[in-house]
Homo-oligomer: A and B are copies of this chain.
Amino acid sequence: MARGSTRPTSRDVAQAAGVSQAAVSLVLGDKWRGRVSETTAERVREAARELGYRPNLAARNLRLGRTRTVLLVVPALTTEFFAGVYTGAARVAAERGFGVVLYPSPEGVGPARDPFASAQAALDGVIASSMAADALTAIRGDQLPLVMLDSDPEGSLGAATVNLDITDGTHQIADHLLGLGHRHFLHLAADIPSWTFEVRARALAARLAAVPGTSLRTAHTPMSIEGALAATEAALSAADRDHPTAVVCDDDKLAAGVYKALRRRGLRIPDDVSVTGVDDIALAAALDPELTTVRLDAELFGERGMQALLDVLDGRTPDAGDIPVELVVRASTAPPSTP
């Protein structure tokens, strides 16, 4: 639905505080050293907080003729390298009061579009991954139309959601491994507090609980190869008996760390231990042996998210329905050895 009441302006704040618009600008711009009394300044700040006032960036930029924003053009989003470049640039920029907007020239999708098209900013709406939960508070501050990716359809009040059918994916993984004869599992779980990972943990536990004689151990890890390596080593050391014969990872990248940990202990994949991932990124097929994983159609996910947001902006209710996922069986899973 459309924005209910229009956004408050500095004039609304002024009226609420009983001062002129100019005074509001001075106070909120921190330029009131000896021009406004402390008491009125506080009154203005209070009114602004009350109304949920946010300055209109377009108007400010127009007035000032300057933006304090910089464009970073990178060849693709895929590389850790340019992620680092962005991080460094964003840090320095933030220190000097600048913002950074990213223009990733889209991969393989024809020639690069006009970079400035992606730099219009000031927002009509928001698409947010539930993994970026820490940023969500700031987003909910505004009343912007919001679409959540992979989030609790009930919990995210009012916001539309677009979800991958990760429950089905987890079930497929579990059934595949159970069918091979595995009974003792290690779940290498991402330590990100996000709905999607909670769902996977519940779905895996539920599916295994339905089969007698199964055991499930869970190890939490940061979302990095090194973290997965350390977490797996710790979990394997702790597992005195009921040694897991299958490691279920929340992400392909984690599997790379698991591979390393298993190699260090002299365990072979899949002969001694089976490993699975989620995502099916290029890395999955590059690992040795190639990784069995659940393929998520990331581009379709993005398209559906955007469709949903545009629907919301047009006053339509976006069509629900989870996006199906697909189990890709490769060489990292096999029946457990029977010693």
Could you list which residues of chain A lie within 8 angstroms of chain B, going by C-beta atoms? Answer: 54, 56-59, 61-62, 66-94, 96, 98-107, 109, 111-129, 131-132, 134-136, 138-139, 142, 149, 192, 223-226, 253, 256-257, 259-260, 263, 279, 281-283, 285-286, 288, 296, 298-303, 305-307, 309-310
The 6 tightest CB contacts between A and B, nearest first, are A121-B121, A88-B302, A84-B298, A88-B299, A77-B83, A58-B61
Residues of B within 8 A of A135 (CB): 73, 103, 105, 112, 115
Residues of B within 8 A of A67 (CB): 58, 120-124
Residue contact A98 to B303, C-beta cutoff 8 Å: no
Residues of B within 8 A of A99 (CB): 117-120
Q: How far is the CA of A82 from the CA of B149 in the complex (A)?
A: 11
Residues of B within 8 A of A285 (CB): 225-226
Residue contact A85 to B120, C-beta cutoff 8 Å: no
Interface centre among A58, A127, A136, A192 (most CB of B within 10 A): A58
Residue contact B299 to A84, C-beta cutoff 8 Å: yes
Residues of B within 8 A of A138 (CB): 112, 114-116
Residues of B within 8 A of A89 (CB): 127, 302-303, 305-306
Q: How far is the CA of A98 from the CA of B82 in the complex (A)?
A: 25
